[in-house]
Structure 1
Amino acid sequence: MNNDPLFHPGWIRFNEQRWGLTAEPLSFTPDKGDGWRLDTVLYRNHQGRLVTPPRNPHLPIAFQCASERPASRNRRKRLALTRLAEYLQQCEFGGSLSLSSVADDVRPFEWANMAARPRFTYHLDIATREDAIDPSARKKARKCRRLGYRCEVTEEYAAVADCLAGPEARKGFDYRLDAAELSRLAELMGPEHFVCFLARNAEGEAMGTRVCLFVPGGHALAWSAGMKTEAMKDGVNNLVAEEALDFFERQGCTVFDFIGANIAPVAEMKEAWGGRLVCHYTISQRGIRQLAREAYVTARTLMKRESK
């Protein structure tokens, strides 16, 4: 079983329809035997270049190994990622590619003359979360309940889209999702893989939301979240996160991926849930600009050493 919901056919179809891309599922295996297997899904734009689709936290990668011995597993994973890197080396990129944290050995891509940049997220072990979560996160959720808020699973996509507009207005970005797109994605993935949580205040007004993708028994991704400005001080985000974790525990999910921890205030908020800090990489082809930048950094480093 692939733990990553980004392998789901409905998600792949949504990316093709919404962004005008062509999906390219790939599988790599050894030339002989069946000691390992690597699966991924790449996407090409109209020019045939590889891209990470908008609103995709990463490109999914699954790695299977017939041996649990660390030496064998490390070697086979390196070989598998080398095969992927060799394939990518023959392609043209339309931008950087964000890889799943499964690709934790970035050396094959660097050896294939690609540049790698670390990015971060938090993975929370759902089964053991009670011992991991900071009491302050629970306290904010309790405050929210005392104020009369309640949280539910919903199919009211207009209310969800309205809450998502909150951070769009505050932070100046665009989720590029309206109620119709959310409804279409829900239809493509089904309730076994797509869920929206909606928090309402004591008056019944929708104030906060979280949209998640998940695999029962696998990973859950905190794909999109938003709350209205007037509810920020009430702990709505904490209430919705707590309800989501309870829901995913009932689905047998093992890991909750908070998706992104690269901005200081965001990282501070997410780290309170006690997840493990996880690194993944974006890779890009080394063009003239990238090579010039690396040469500049190297020259500055050498000049500083010589001046000491």
Structure 2
Amino acid sequence: MGTLHQEHEMLTRWADFNHLKWGCSANIVKFQNSDSNAYIESLFFFNQKGKLFLPPLNPFHPTFFHPTPTDKPYRINQQWRQLSHQMIEEIIRHGGAASFVLPPDITDIRPFLWRGFKANVKYTYHLKLPYSLEQASTEIRSKIKKATQTGYRSALTQDMNKIFPCLIATENRKGFHHDLTLSDLQLAQQLLGHDNFRCYVCYSPEGEAVSASIIIVMNEAWSFGWAAGSKTNHLTNGVVQQSQHFAFEDLTRIGIHNVDLVGANLPSVAGSKSGWGGELVPYYQVRLPVFKETLRSCRNWLNNRKGQKL
């Protein structure tokens, strides 16, 4: 096994990939007071007009809050409130209508609301590692058993030629696009490194790659599913479930504590992911109000004032 890139290095490499793939600019911004070691580090993406932007295939704006070592919650809360004000000023400075999507670890969005931001809540599933298959539904366990008994096997791969056809198969079946080429996969692998860009394949008894997934490791506490696909003829044989379970075991082996299954906001997606028994966690999209919303708020305020005078 090689060496995992650490958090800041991964932010740099992830910024480079998104710049090359999507043509956006990306800055790693650190928010810190001079009298404290607590800090927030976040990756800001900008479109060609210099406005905030979230590229495709990014579930969140990677943002990490590192308080000073303490067992006192009030200190952690105080540090977050102080540093988040700096972050908010940076978001306001760049403006735009796009949301800034905070990862699930950021749960206190009050500083944003106090500054007039609008917020939407979404959901995803987190699995704590090591993972016990006893957490999974009977259906998932049965599918894994079926795949194993039928002769399927799952493994890590560094060959993007095995990954890519599986992604295309799902795109054709479901009528959507990952917007990833074979060259894109190879570029991501080159920039992020084999240890942080982890690729899994389920092979048929004949040795054909029939299901694939990619998990990106940002740090020991956060990894997330990035892309996945399977060939239609093998879907009912439990290939997806076997491959995913293998991935959880592999992440545990290298010391990762948590995997984000990314997304639980559509009924079909939520149904397929909930069977793993992960924790349903919220995450927040925050954005500045657009002009029409501000105008509407002013109008409502004036109407309320008139009503009070009457």
| Equivalent AA in structure 1 for residue 157 of structure 2 | T
Whether contact under 8 Å (2:7, 2:219) holds in the other structure is no
Q: Classify the secondary structure of the residue corresponding to 1:8.
A: helix
| Equivalent AA in structure 1 for residue 258 of structure 2 | V
In structure 2, the partner of 1:260 is: 263
Separation in 1, partners of 2:293, 2:97: 15
Separation in 1, partners of 2:133, 2:165: 32
Task: Tell me which of 185, 189, 211 is aligned to 1:186.
Answer: 189
Report whether the alignment pairs 1:38 with 2:40.
Answer: yes
Alignment of 1:36-75 (within 5 A): 36-66=38-68, 67-75=70-78
Going from structure 1 to structure 2, the CA distance change for 1:13 and 1:231 (only over 3 Å counts) comes to same
Deviation, 1:240, is 0.8
Q: TM-score, normalised on structure 2? A: 0.88
In structure 1, the partner of 2:122 is: 119
Separation in 2, partners of 1:18, 1:169: 22
Separation in 2, partners of 1:227, 1:5: 33
Deviation, 1:139, is 1.9
Whether contact under 8 Å (2:130, 2:249) holds in the other structure is no
In structure 2, the partner of 1:305 is: none
Deviation, 1:180, is 1.1
Unpaired segments ≥5 residues, structure 1: 303-308
| Equivalent AA in structure 2 for residue 254 of structure 1 | H
Report whether the alignment pairs 1:106 with 2:109.
Answer: yes
Deviation, 1:116, is 1.0
Task: Tell me which of 157, 162, 177 is aligned to 2:180.
Answer: 177
Whether contact under 8 Å (2:169, 2:229) holds in the other structure is yes
Deviation, 1:166, is 2.5
Whether contact under 8 Å (1:158, 1:178) holds in the other structure is no
Separation in 1, partners of 2:233, 2:292: 44
Deviation, 1:255, is 0.3
Deviation, 1:69, is 0.7
Separation in 1, partners of 2:282, 2:233: 34
Q: Classify the secondary structure of the residue corresponding to 2:249.
A: helix
Deviation, 1:289, is 4.4
Separation in 1, partners of 2:282, 2:56: 20
Residue-by-residue CA offset, 1:107-126 (whole Å, 9 max, x unaligned): 22222222111111111111
Separation in 2, partners of 1:65, 1:28: 12
Separation in 2, partners of 1:133, 1:291: 47
Residue-by-residue CA offset, 1:20-78 (whole Å, 9 max, x unaligned): 11111111112x52152111110111110110111111111111112231122122212
Residue-by-residue CA offset, 1:86-143 (whole Å, 9 max, x unaligned): 2212222252222212321112222222211111111111125345333432221111
Deviation, 1:291, is 4.9
In structure 2, the partner of 1:84 is: 87
Separation in 2, partners of 1:121, 1:5: 24
Task: Tell me which of 251, 255, 258 is aligned to 2:254.
Answer: 251
| Equivalent AA in structure 2 for residue 236 of structure 1 | V
Alignment of 1:123-134 (within 5 A): 123-134=126-137
In structure 1, the partner of 2:224 is: 221
| Equivalent AA in structure 1 for residue 22 of structure 2 | W
Whether contact under 8 Å (1:7, 1:41) holds in the other structure is no
The size of the alignment, in residue pairs, is 298
Whether contact under 8 Å (2:215, 2:225) holds in the other structure is yes
Unpaired segments ≥5 residues, structure 2: 305-310
| Equivalent AA in structure 2 for residue 82 of structure 1 | H
Identity %: 27
Q: TM-score, normalised on structure 1? A: 0.88
Deviation, 1:216, is 6.2
Residue-by-residue CA offset, 1:6-32 (whole Å, 9 max, x unaligned): 9432221100111111111111112x5
| Equivalent AA in structure 2 for residue 247 of structure 1 | D
Separation in 1, partners of 2:286, 2:217: 25
Going from structure 1 to structure 2, the CA distance change for 1:114 and 1:7 (only over 3 Å counts) comes to farther
Residue-by-residue CA offset, 1:177-213 (whole Å, 9 max, x unaligned): 1211101110111112111111121222221110111
